[in-house]
Structure formats: structure tokens, C-alpha cells
Chain A
Amino acid sequence: MLIPCPHCGLRPSEEFVPKGLAEAPRPALGGRAKPDGPAWQNYLHLRDNVADHNHEYFHHALGCRSWIVVHRHTLTHEVTGATMAADFWKADKPATTGTQDAKSPAAETAEDGQ
């Protein structure tokens, strides 16, 4: 499998370490969210695991050390794009080629820490 690191270009998957689905941003700092509340449960535990396109964290551990979010189909392994993790949860994040829109980061953070 090849992974398109936004920084390094197309690189073999052996250079990367996967972490899991990027389905929710980390709840905002200083929030009063309870450990068993939805924000933390969503961030840490709840994953849809669909047989379809997914957003997944990969660490370019044997490359530029960037954490990236890869858009990948879990059945075909087709990779259609990647974004820097640093940009992924920003409201004005750059588009990833050929990918579906991620969940709105704004909506995810809103439930936490208000």
C-alpha cells in the first residue's frame, strides 16, 4: 500500500504507523466534560468502523514524523487522499483530494466544555 504523505509524497506503508480512526477531535482544554460523557467517549472509544471510506491517523514515523489523516477504503484499501493532522480539525482545513468531508470539527467541540 502506498500512502500520500502531504509533506513527503507517495511513500510505502511500511514507513507509517497507524493509530486508528480520526472520527472526533480531542475535547477542548479546560472543559468540564465528564469522563463518561459523550465528548470523551467519542474521542477515545466510539468508532463507526464502516466498510467504506474512513479517515485514519497515520504517523510517518520513518519519514518526516508528521501525523497525517489518510482517507482510505477499508475493503479495497484504496487511498484517496491525506491531510496533515495539524490541519485536519481546523474549520478552514485544506481539501483532501477526492475525499468525503470529515465530520464538522466545530460540531464536535461544541458539546464539550461550555
Chain B
Amino acid sequence: MTASLPQPLRLRQGGLINRNQPLTFTFDRRVYQGYEGDSLASALLASGVKLFGRSFKYHRPRGVFSAGPEEPSALVEIDQGKAERDPNHRATMVELYEGLETFSQNHIGPLELDLMEANDLISRFLPAGFYYKTFFFGGLQAWYRFYEPIIRRAAGLGRPPMEADPHHYDKIYTFADTLVVGGGIAGLTTALSLARAGQSVLVCDERDRVGGAALWQGERFDGQSGAAYVDHLVAEIEAAGGRVLPRTTVFGVYDGGTYGALERCHDHLAKAGRRAHTARMKYHRIQADRVVYATGAIERSVGFMGNDRPGVMLASAGHAYLGRYGVRVGQQPTIFTTNDGGYAVAAALAATGADVTLLDARADSRLEAEGVRVLRGVHATQAHGRMGLHRVDYGGAQSGSLSTDALLVSGGWNPAVHLTSHTNDRRQSKPVYDANLRAFLPPELVDSEAAAGSVTGALGTVDCLASAAAAAAKFGGAALDTPAVDEAVAVSAPKELWAVPGAGKAAFLDLQNDATVKDVGLAAQEGFRSVEHMKRFTTLGMATDQGKTSNVNGLALLAAATGREISAVGTTTFRPPYTPVPMGAFAGHHRQRDYEPFRYSPVYDWAEANGATFVEAGLWMRPSWYTQTGEADWLESAVRETRATRDQLGITDVSTLGKIDIQGPDAAEFLNRLYTNGWKSLPVGKARYGLMLREDGFVFDDGTTSRLAEDHFYMTTTTAKAAAVMAHMEFVHQSAWPDLQVAFASVTDQWGGLALAGPKSRDCLAALFPELDVSNDGMPFMGVIETTWKGHTARLFRISFSGELAYEVAVPADVFDAFWREAMAVGAQWDITPYGLEALNILRIEKGHVTGGELDGRVSMDDVGLGKMVSTKKDFVGKAMSGRTAFTDPDRVKMIGLVATQVDERIIGGGIVFDSKDGPFDHTTMLGYVTSVAAFSPLKDRSIALAFIKNAADYHSKTLYVVSHVHNRAIIEVTAESPHFYDPKNEKVTG
């Protein structure tokens, strides 16, 4: 089988592609063919495509610049569809599959005729810093209305998907003794040595095929091809128990031997071959004792005019397309190099019959390449060809112009030091500039780190193998025989050349953000000496490629422009991720309904079947109200539930309250220190309301705690604070009073609880527990009885949150549903009415009970009218600080009740309280704020609220005004009164 569509730049032989498996794909809806093993970039190049996209700022036509993850230019969208569309993929990293759909980015109209190209023509108006300066004409309004929309449309990369990502992502913990980052020859050799020494070794390589440059450089190892030798190494590593993960990018190094890695599992498979419900990507959280950075090096370019034209690329990229993919990027290629490395690709291209010219920036080089015309002491000055390179001008020792269809540039190599700096930066240990190699090398590595291969600055395969042996030796690796390297590629440090003389505006450094040589000069002129400031002023290195091919040229030019050494300028800070990571990979399965776990009461199913509408309360799903036939809205249901409870009998689920079981000889003493009030005198069989402060004196939480035995208490907390109270108790016990003999455990999930409230609640309780005396004498207010229900422990508490005669009953969670249903059946004779959180809220606001709305971390005991609950005879958490002077400030806001004057006006939660309706309604006149609102109180026949205001005592019975600035700013007239609207003498609960 052969491909039927033309691939004019594909050679008849060579490369690691499977020529028996042609693949059909589209780019901008045109159909092309490539082979299995191709990248999108190699297949398009083979098909003669030069133009891949448009640049970010100037919309200049751009081609492909590299053959790897460093690619700045050839960014494409994959797939179509609002959810599937995935922008900014590097064409060099996209693996070809049958049916792949790709699209160019950042143009309006056809790619060849981008209407935004005018940006390029007026680019003399858009130098670095232009945005910061120009658009302040007209002020902020002009920016929002005029400049920003235009710039947003003009400057950009791909379009984001508009619907939720449909893919699955997994997170996985991965462990190894030693992590090897990079599966080139150096990484694999180090890994084999360590695996043979018995270490658990994991090799991660970001490419689809491990091997690095050995796959295309043409060198032979012990007589084998690079690809064959790589296969041999991988097989040996796996035989020794090691693992090799291709398509896995280690993107970040974190503290304590933690590494982030992204494994791409799906994106290379034809869609039919992707198994449903399997992960598109896996985020590995790798834990490793040691790491070997074998991350390689990234070639850099040289600044000259037109060095961004389609057809200009890195020399190593031209070599890789030839060696790995059998693609000859030009029939008449020109190499422009500052070092020996350019000769290898020149010779390899000449060997295919191409007409090759090499421009060597060095006058004193004596190297030759077979079949290659070499001009020495010469540099490229300008590349021509808007849609595809056709000519290059050169200057220096001689000047002239060459007809050419590909210009391969090598300005030297930058070791990929990114990962070596992620944590070392914090040790003030930055990459070090080596003036001989003209490269930044890794910072000083710690004991658990080693580096191997060209990241160490090693030039050439022989040196890389030596560095691998050294890295292996550092970690106790086994000795290996070093392979003979035949046909070794010539290498050298480059001549120092960051930009050619005369390079300016159209001499690009950062191809993705369109930052030029001139921009760096401007930054220096403007006084930006710090490389971090230059970066932000020019945006050099701030695009999705993070300047992998441009940063070092930029900082070297800044050094020259400010008269400093390169080492004095230094690099910008390297931070994770090394290459972009989709947010979905970090989220994994923790999204949408699986974002957090849900907690369900044992009677959730019952409530759902009986018309409950639920609300999320923390992780809990709590019934908000129960809709009955004919009810128009939530308020109608909640008011009916409130009335039924006040008049007859209500039942509500209180299973979500925090419950803590406290035992031990010092349990009472411990409670004495936790709560503001005293606990030692509480008799067995009694409950008490308790208030907890934070150590800084502010109210923390409240609840009732019951004494079940001398050394056994049962505490309840609010639903919201249950976890925080538990952690707080653990903290004070362990950090302050570890000698107290007390133990406690959360039993929230072990008990289900219901409250019976209303005049008939005693009758209902008596019917549920006929053998018990629950009369006012047998079970007085705050009485507690531990008994059984059908053989299960049941705890009865006479406590009230609603202000009615009320009881709470707790039974083990697994029988709670049955108990609830029995209570419903028994209570039917009194028309028992289940009520939800909304009715509960109305009931407790009418009673003036505080909850989270009031206890918001800013109130003192006195502010909420609980100042009397302080025992002066003992110390407790927060006691000292509750005497802080701020709490006695007469201007302090205190709780008060508000009643709407008009029957049909609703007080707004969060509204601000004023004492005049004339305004201004701002901080100068504000008295306080509303914390809780009952949209309708049956008791008052209108809306009521709890609020905090200054001089609260002075405003009783006075008219006040509530204004919500975030609502409709309507002025609601209210009357202030005691917050205890209902039964202020507590006759209902105690009777």
C-alpha cells in the first residue's frame, strides 16, 4: 500500500516511518496523506506545505521552526466541535492518525490572505511597550470600549473550546527509586546502569518514540543504527525491571522528590481506537528518591531580518525531518551556522542529492562537508519570501544573495536546564553561564540529583555517554561497556552571535509573541536592566512556548545593550510547567458532580420521594423545603411548614449536625476549658447549651452537649463547623493540654437524628417510646434519656432550636430511616409535617437563635447577646482575649431584630442599615448590616431579619431603613426590636 496524494518533499527511502501504513488527514479542510510514525509537521512538510499559521501580534505568515516540543510557530487547532476543539497544539508534537482534523490559527479569512496582516504593515507603530503606553489615551473607558476589543480580535492564538471538555483524565501516584527525565542515549544509558544495580528506575520521555537525536543523527553504535541501539537499551532496561514511558512529559519538579508528569494516552490513536471511558491523559504524581536530568539541549537561532519566514528553521529540525521522517525540507537548502554542528545536516542533505550551501559565521573554521559549498566568515542578513522562503542575502567577509528554499540555522545549543532550576531557584542557585560553551548550564545539583547528556553542556555523543557514566556512578549504578560511536557528528561550541549586525525590527527572537531584536534594544533604552523586567516589557518568552528558542538570545542581547556580562544578567526564573498541561489533567475526575464528595443523610431517599428540594450545605445535601401539590414557590411551602410546626407538630432531619463523642476521666475538665460556661456541675442525664470562642476571643461555634455518664459526653456542633471544631479540639488538647485524660471521636456519620417540634411533640415522643415517662417532670427541659428503640440505642434530648416544645432523638444511622418512617406514621394523627432548612430558618430567626450568618468570625459573645454565658471561675479558650478593649467599644455593632413596616416588602439579606431615608447611603451614615432574613414570618405576618447595628440598645422601637446596594437599592422601612421575637420568656420550650 502506498499513499496516493503527493508528498513532493518525501524521499523514497529513509526515516522511521511505516511506509506500508499511509494515513489520511486534513489541514484547514484540505486532505493530505502521511505515514504512520509521522508528526503533523513532518507530514505537512512532506506534502509541500510551508505556511502553518499566523503570528500572535503582527499576523505574519509562519511555518514550522523546530521538530520538537520547543516549537514556537506551528500551532494548530485539533478537532472541531464546540467541546472537542483543542487549540495551540504544536504541529511537531501532534502524531498523525487516520482521520486527524487540524486547523491553522489566528487569521481572519483564508490563511494565505489574512485580513489582519495589516498589523504587520503598521508594525512600526507596535513596538514593545506600545500597549502599555498608547492605549492610555482616552482613559480606561476608551480602553474597554475601543482598544481592548480590537486588540483581543487582532492578537491571539487559537480559539478555546466553548463547552466542557468531554475527555476523561486520570491522576496516578507513581513511585521509583530513580526518575530519569529524558530517553535519549544518555538517559537510557544511565537508566540501564541504575536498573542493573537493582534500583527501580522510571524513564519518562516526552516524545512518541524514545531515543532523542540518536533516531535521526545518523551515528552508529557498535555497528547498529541509532534506532536499533535505542531499542536494545529499552529492552535491556525493561529486562532489568525498569520502566520506560514514552509520550510522558515531566513538567515540574517539586519539593521532597515529587515530580509532575503528563502522559498522553489517547491523542495519537485514531478515534475508533480510543476505548471509551479510558483516560486521554494521565497526570502522574511521581515520588522518587533520586532524579537524573537527561533533558537534552534545544538549538537556538540567530537574529537576522526575516528569520521568521516560512522555510527558515533550526538546523537540527532539518536534520530530524530528514533522518526521522524521510522529509527533505528543501532541494536547494542553505545552512547558516555558528558552530560545527551545522555541517552534519549539510552533509546529510547533500548525500540525498540536494544542492547545499553552508554559511559559516566563523572565518577560521576549516571543516568541510562532502558535496557542500561552504562560505566562511559569512552570516545571513535577510531571508525573503512572505509565504515561503526563496532567497537569502548574506554579508560579512563577502556579501551576496542565494536562491534557496530552506534556511537551516544553528546559533548553538541551550541545555534544557528548566527542570534543574524549578526547586534549585529557591536555594538561590540559578543556571550558570559558561562563557566557553556560550551556554547556561544547570545550577549546582543536590545529592539526590544528577544530570546526563547534553543538558550538562556535553557536546557530542561520546561526551554525552561519559556524562551518563558519571551520573550513574553518583547513584551507584552498575558498570556498563561503552559502545563505539561510529560516524560521529562533528560538534563544537559556537561563535558568539546572538543577532547579526544590522538586525532590527523584523529580526525575530520570540516567534510566538513576535518579540524582536529591536524590542530588546528598546527595553534597554527604557531603562529595563533586569532580565525579568525586559521579559515583561517585550513579552519575550511569555507565550505558550515560554521562549525555549528565544530567551537566551534575548538576555544575551540585553547584556550587550546594557554593557554587562551575560552571567551578570542571568536567566529569568524557570517555573513549572515545562510545556503546557491541560487543566483537565490537574482536575482528573474531580469535576462537575465529582468535584467533591456529597454527603447524604440516611433519610435522603425518603425526603427525595416526598417532594424535598435540596440545598448544598457544605458537602451535605439538606432538604430545603417539601413541595406539596398546589404550592407556587418555596416560600409558600416553607411558611406552611413553619405554621404546622408552631400549631401542631413538625419533624426535621438534624443528622447533619456535627457529633463528637467525648470520654475519659478529664472529659468534664476538657469541656470546661473548651466552652465559655461551666460543665463540671452538669448532672448525668442533662444537656447544656455551650458557646466556644476562638483563642483570640471571637465566637467560634455553639451547640448542646449532654452528659451520658460521669466520664462520657455527647457534643453537637453546627453542620458547617463540625470539622473545624474537631480540629480545634484536637489542637488545644494536643498542643496545650496533652496531659488531660480525654479521648474524642467524630460520630457524625454514626448517628441519625430528628427533631420533633411543636405543641404535639411530647405526645408523639410518648407514642414512639410508650414505656418512658416523657412528661415535664419525667423529662424536663434539657433532660436527656438514653434508652432503646426496637433493640437499638436511642438518645432522647429535650432541646429546642425552633422555640417550640421540642425533642431531638438520635438512633444509629443504619436504623434511622426506619425510625424516621415510624415517627411519620405515629405522628400522622397530629398531622406531622416534615420541614426543611427554610422553615427551620424562619423558626430560629423568630426565636432569635444565631447561626453561621451571625457567628461569622467577627462577633464577640456580647455582640450576640450571650455575654452572660461566661464563667468567671475558670479559664477557657479565648477567655483572656475576650477582655480585649475592642469588645467594649461603644461603636461596636450588636445584634438586633428588624421587622418590615410594609406587609409586602421583603428585607434583603446583606442589606445595609441606616437611620435616615435621606441618604447618603454609604459608610459615613451606615449603622450596620443585615445577617439573616426570613422572607416571611407567620408570627409577624411580614418579613423579619436579624441585623448588627451600632448603639443597638438606643434603636429599640425606632424606625430604620435597609438598603441593598447589590440588589435594587430600594429603601425598606423597618422597625427595630429585640431579636427574640417569639416567646421571649421561653415558656413554650420549658412548659
Interface positions of A (Cβ within 8 A of B): 1-2, 12-13, 17, 19, 22, 25-27, 29-31, 33-36, 40, 43-44, 57, 59, 61, 65-67, 75-79, 84-90
Contacts and interface: CB of A to CB of B under 8 A. Distances in A.
Contact of B255 (A22, A43, A77, A88): A77
26 contacts: A1-B255, A2-B255, A2-B256, A12-B258, A12-B285, A25-B735, A31-B875, A33-B880, A34-B883, A35-B883, A40-B880, A40-B881, A44-B695, A65-B730, A67-B730, A67-B734, A67-B735, A76-B427, A77-B255, A84-B734, A85-B735, A85-B738, A86-B735, A87-B738, A89-B735, A90-B738
Nearest to A79: B256
Given A29-B673, A67-B734, A76-B427, A1 B880 contact: no
B395 interface: no
Contacts of B736: 25-26
Contacts of A12: 258, 285, 287
Contacts of A75: 426-428
Count chain A CB atoms within 10 A of each CB in B255, B257, B427 and give the residue with the most: B255
Contacts, number: 85
Interface string B411-448: 00000000000010011100000000000000000000
User: What 10 pairs across the A-B complex have the smallest Cβ distances?
Assistant: A86-B738, A2-B256, A77-B255, A26-B736, A1-B255, A85-B735, A67-B734, A29-B875, A86-B734, A35-B884
Contacts of B885: 36
Contacts of B883: 34-35
Contacts of B737: 29
Interface string B229-263: 00000000000000000000000001111100000
A32 B727 CA distance: 27
B697 A35 contact: yes
Contacts of B731: 19, 57, 59, 67, 85
Q: Is the interface of B mostly helix, strand, loop or mixed?
A: mixed
Contact of A57 (B423, B696, B697, B735): B735
A79 B257 CA distance: 12
Interface in B684-698: 695-697
Nearest to B884: A35
Interface of B: 254-258, 285, 287, 423, 426-428, 673, 695-697, 727, 730-732, 734-738, 875, 880-885
A59 B730 contact: yes
Given A84-B734, A86-B738, A59 B727 contact: yes
A1 B734 contact: no
Contacts of B257: 2
B734 A66 contact: yes
A77 B257 CA distance: 11
Given A29-B875, A30-B875, A35 B734 contact: no
B258 A1 contact: yes
Contacts of A57: 731, 735
A66 B287 CA distance: 24
A86 B737 CA distance: 8
A8 B882 CA distance: 37
A26 B882 CA distance: 15
A27 B876 CA distance: 11
Count chain A CB atoms within 10 A of each CB in B427, B673, B736 and give the residue with the most: B736
Nearest to B727: A59
Given A1-B255, A29-B673, A61-B727, A85 B734 contact: yes
Contacts of B427: 75-76
A34 B256 CA distance: 42
B730 A44 contact: no
A26 B258 contact: no
Given A29-B673, A67-B734, A2 B884 contact: no
A75 B257 CA distance: 16
A8 B254 CA distance: 22
B357 to A, nearest CB: 52
Q: Is the interface of A mostly helix, strand, loop or mixed?
A: loop
Count chain A CB atoms within 10 A of each CB in B287, B734, B875 and give the residue with the most: B734
Nearest to A86: B738
Nearest to B731: A67
Nearest to B429: A76
Contacts of A90: 738
Contacts of B428: 75
Contacts of B285: 12
Nearest to A113: B875
B730 to A, nearest CB: 6
B343 to A, nearest CB: 44
Contacts of B426: 75-77
B167 to A, nearest CB: 24
Nearest to A33: B880
A44 B256 contact: no
Nearest to A66: B734
Contacts of B255: 1-2, 76-79
A35 B735 contact: no
B626 to A, nearest CB: 35
B678 to A, nearest CB: 14
A84 B695 CA distance: 21
Contacts of A88: 735
Nearest to A37: B880
A89 B427 CA distance: 30
A26 B735 contact: yes
Nearest to B257: A2
Given A67-B731, A86-B738, A89-B735, A36 B884 contact: yes
Contact of A44 (B673, B696, B734, B738): B696
Contacts of A67: 730-731, 734-735
A43 B696 CA distance: 10
B727 A17 contact: yes
A29 B737 CA distance: 10
Contacts of B734: 66-67, 84-86
Given A67-B735, A76-B426, A85-B734, 7 more contacts: A1-B254, A19-B731, A34-B880, A35-B882, A57-B731, A59-B730, A85-B735
Contacts of B727: 17, 59, 61
Contacts of A34: 880, 883
A58 to B, nearest CB: 11
Given A40-B880, A85-B735, A2 B258 contact: yes
A1 B260 CA distance: 12
Contacts of B738: 85-87, 90
Contacts of B732: 26
B692 to A, nearest CB: 16
Count chain A CB atoms within 10 A of each CB in B254, B285, B880 and give the residue with the most: B880
A1 B254 CA distance: 7
Nearest to A45: B696
Contacts of B423: 76-77
A6 to B, nearest CB: 12
Contacts of A86: 734-735, 738
Nearest to A77: B255
B466 to A, nearest CB: 31
A31 B875 CA distance: 8
Contact of B256 (A1, A22, A66, A87): A1
Contacts of B875: 29-31
Contacts of A59: 727, 730-731
A64 B258 CA distance: 22
B660 to A, nearest CB: 12
B735 A27 contact: no
A90 B739 CA distance: 11
Contacts of A77: 255-256, 423, 426
A56 to B, nearest CB: 12
Contacts of A89: 735
Contacts of B730: 59, 65-67
Contacts of A13: 256
B881 A44 contact: yes
A67 B255 CA distance: 22
B589 to A, nearest CB: 16
Nearest to A41: B881
Count chain B CB atoms within 10 A of each CB in A31, A65, A88 and give the residue with the most: A65
